[in-house]
């Protein structure tokens, strides 16, 4: 009879749950598997626990938990369920970490101002990854530039008038500047904003290593230029365009917002308007030049080999120019920055440093939400973190919209 090793399996489940409670590694390349295992487990804890329970019942019926080792295995598996239950409870209790910073930065009336703006639109939607078909029709898939990757989905409610002036949000996907898949990133946020009456342009862009920096930011700028020139045909307001994105998309979001109309990244469309009214970078990279610190040597090595393809020591200016933290300015638009304290890919210290630099320089509001125990990509699923992110970002952008009139 084939041995099924229930004890080893239970230990693996418990370690996976423990990694969701707190990352088991924070230095070097080990952070990559730590993230990829802990992220879905932590954000979809009830699903993971439920699947484990069903599988445990199946294995119990075939006798895997008989004997002393089997009972120990079952006990360890039960401990993993308890850990996952704790993770979900902790996540569900985190809403104030999203909303509190907005209240502190924008004032006690921010919720009332945002609510007044939202009363003009309907609310409520199940923020699930299959909701795209509700908001994106065949003619809403557009091409914004000359390259194969220059495509985008235009999300909107079906009842929005084509001659209306709905606020617009550009969503920039993440993926280490090497993936750039617009589907299915930020679906909780985009469904939430679409139901509120916004138009969201979810873009793809050229990625590395096939393409070299600055192709990525050029495409973001080109998408903004397309929006300003064409979004009125879809019922959007070209005078109210905000931008958001996570991870590499957070980097590109911040950089685009801080370099409006910069001709070095607008080749062939230097005169186009690429300014935005607000920016929401989420767990982004804001520093491409610091070489010391957790994960920094590995990050610079990846940039040199796959993204920039130029030696840092010989082309330091390229890395400085690509760093949003070097571009902070007094006339920056309002920012809402979000980062998780347990981020294994981009340490939270990077978000803190960027926000500190922004607050010292910008004349506009800068709100910062630091989410306890949140991993990288915490807003990807329709989890409590995903829901709270969508709600808080909507509150912030509605506040900006109301303040601009």
In a shared domain, residues 49 and 104: no
Q: Residue 114 domain-assigned?
A: yes
Last residue of a domain, one of 70, 92, 114: 92
The gap from C-alpha 330 to its chain's centroid, in whole angstroms, comes to 25
**Cis preceding-peptide flag for 240 (omega within 30 of 0):** no
Q: What is the pLDDT of residues 309-360, one digit of tens each?
A: 999 999 999 999 999 999 999 999 999 999 999 999 999 999 999 999 999 9
> Is 159 an active-site residue?
no
Domain identity same for 64 and 83:
yes
Phi, psi of 77 (to 5 degrees): -65, -40
The CB density around residue 264, as the number of other CB atoms within 10 Å, is 12
- The verdict on 153 and 33 lying in the same domain is no
Domain closes at, from 28, 59, 92:
92
Give pLDDT, residue 292.
86
Same domain, 170 and 239: yes
| Of 255, 193, 185, the residue nearest 224 (C-alpha) | 255
Burial class (CB in 10 A: 0-12, 13-18, 19+), 58: exposed
Same domain? 132 vs 32: no
Q: What is the pLDDT of residue 403?
A: 87
> Could you tell me if 120 and 46 lie in one domain?
no
The confidence score (pLDDT) of residue 49 equals: 94
**SS3 of residue 373 by DSSP:** coil
Residue at token pair 């520093």: 287
Assess whether 216 carries a catalytic annotation: no
Q: Which residues make beta-bridge pairs with 36? A: none
Bond from prior residue into 37 cis (ω within 30 degrees of 0): no
pLDDT of res. 177? 97
Q: Is residue 1 part of a domain?
A: no
Catalytic residue among 202, 247, 323, 344: 247
Residue-level pLDDT at 115? 67
pLDDT of residue 313: 93
150 and 87 share a domain?
A: no
Dihedral (Cα; 126, 121, 227, 212), 10-degree rounding: -30
Residue 142 covered by a domain? yes
Q: Comparing C-alpha atoms, which of 295, 289, 368, 273 is closest to residue 327?
A: 289
Give the pLDDT score at 181.
83
Identify whether residues 46 and 120 lie together within a single domain: no
Domain presence at residue 156? yes
- 310 and 400 together in one domain: yes
Please name the residue ranges forming H helices in 93-138.
95-106, 110-118, 132-135
- The model's pTM is 0.92
> Could you tell me which of 373, 375, 367 has the C-alpha nearest to residue 114?
367
Q: By residue range, what is the domain housing residue 283?
A: 95-404
Residue 393 falls inside a structural domain: yes
217 and 184 assigned to the same domain: yes
- Asked if the structure places residue 235 within a domain, the reply is yes
Residue 229 in any domain: the answer is yes
Is residue 190 a part of any domain in this protein? yes
Q: Can the peptide bond before residue 131 be classed as cis, meaning omega within 30 degrees of 0?
A: no
Among residues 92, 114, 146, the one where a domain terminates is 92
Edge-to-edge, what's the strand order for the sheet holding 151-155? 141-143, 151-155, 199-203, 166-172, 236-246, 278-282, 335-340, 366-371
Looking at the structure, do residues 31 and 119 belong to the same domain, yes or no?
Answer: no
- Predicted confidence at residue 125, as pLDDT, reads 36
- Residues 82 and 137 both lie in one domain: no
The CA–CA distances, whole Å, from 343 to 87, 184, 293, 397 equal 15, 21, 14, 25
Residue identified by tokens 């009830």 is 46
Cα–Cα distance for residue pair 28/379, rounded to 1 Å: 24
Q: Which one is catalytic: 64, 219, 343, 387? A: 343
Ranges of residues in the chain whose predicted pLDDT is under 50: 1-2, 121-127
Q: What is the CATH number of the domain that holds 390?
A: 3.40.50.1820
Q: How many domains does the chain have?
A: 2
Q: Is residue 343 annotated as part of the catalytic site, yes or no?
A: yes
């Amino acid at each position: 009879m084939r041995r099924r090793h229930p004890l080893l399996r239970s230990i693996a489940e418990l370690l996976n749950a423990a990694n969701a409670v707190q990352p088991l590694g924070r230095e070097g390349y080990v952070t990559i598997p730590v993230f990829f295992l802990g992220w879905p487990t932590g954000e979809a804890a009830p699903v993971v626990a439920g699947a484990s329970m069903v599988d445990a019942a199946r294995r119990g019926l075939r006798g895997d938990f008989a004997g002393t080792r089997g009972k120990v295995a079952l006990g360890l598996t039960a401990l993993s369920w308890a850990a996952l239950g704790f993770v979900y409870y902790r996540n569900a209790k985190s809403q104030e970490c999203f909303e509190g910073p907005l209240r502190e930065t924008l004032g006690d009336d921010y919720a009332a101002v945002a609510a007044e703006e939202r009363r003009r639109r309907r609310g409520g939607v199940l923020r699930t990854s299959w909701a795209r078909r509700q908001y994106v029709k065949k003619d809403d898939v557009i091409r914004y530039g000359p390259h194969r990757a220059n495509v985008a989905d235009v999300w909107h409610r079906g009842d929005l008038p084509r001659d209306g002036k709905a606020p617009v949000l550009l969503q920039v996907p993440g993926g280490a500047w090497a993936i750039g898949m617009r589907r299915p990133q930020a679906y909780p946020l985009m469904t939430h904003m679409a139901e509120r009456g916004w138009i969201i342009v979810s873009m793809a862009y050229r990625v590395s290593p096939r393409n070299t920096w600055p192709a990525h930011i050029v495409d973001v700028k080109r998408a903004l230029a397309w929006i300003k020139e064409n979004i009125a045909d879809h019922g959007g307001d070209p005078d109210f365009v905000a931008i958001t994105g996570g991870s590499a998309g957070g980097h590109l979001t911040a950089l685009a917002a801080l370099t409006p109309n910069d001709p070095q990244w607008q080749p062939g469309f230097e005169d186009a308007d690429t300014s935005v009214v607000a920016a929401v970078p989420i767990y982004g990279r804001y520093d491409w030049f610091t070489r010391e610190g957790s994960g920094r040597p590995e990050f610079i090595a990846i940039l040199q080999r796959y993204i920039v393809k130029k030696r840092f020591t010989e082309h330091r200016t390229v890395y400085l120019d690509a760093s949003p933290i070097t571009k902070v300015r007094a006339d920056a638009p309002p920012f809402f920055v979000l980062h998780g304290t347990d981020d294994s890919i981009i340490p939270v210290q990077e978000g803190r440093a960027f926000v500190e630099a922004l607050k010292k320089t910008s004349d506009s509001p800068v709100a910062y939400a630091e989410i306890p125990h949140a991993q990288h990509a915490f807003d990807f699923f329709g989890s409590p973190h995903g829901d709270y992110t969508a709600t808080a970002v909507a509150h912030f952008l509605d506040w900006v919209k109301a303040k601009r009139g």
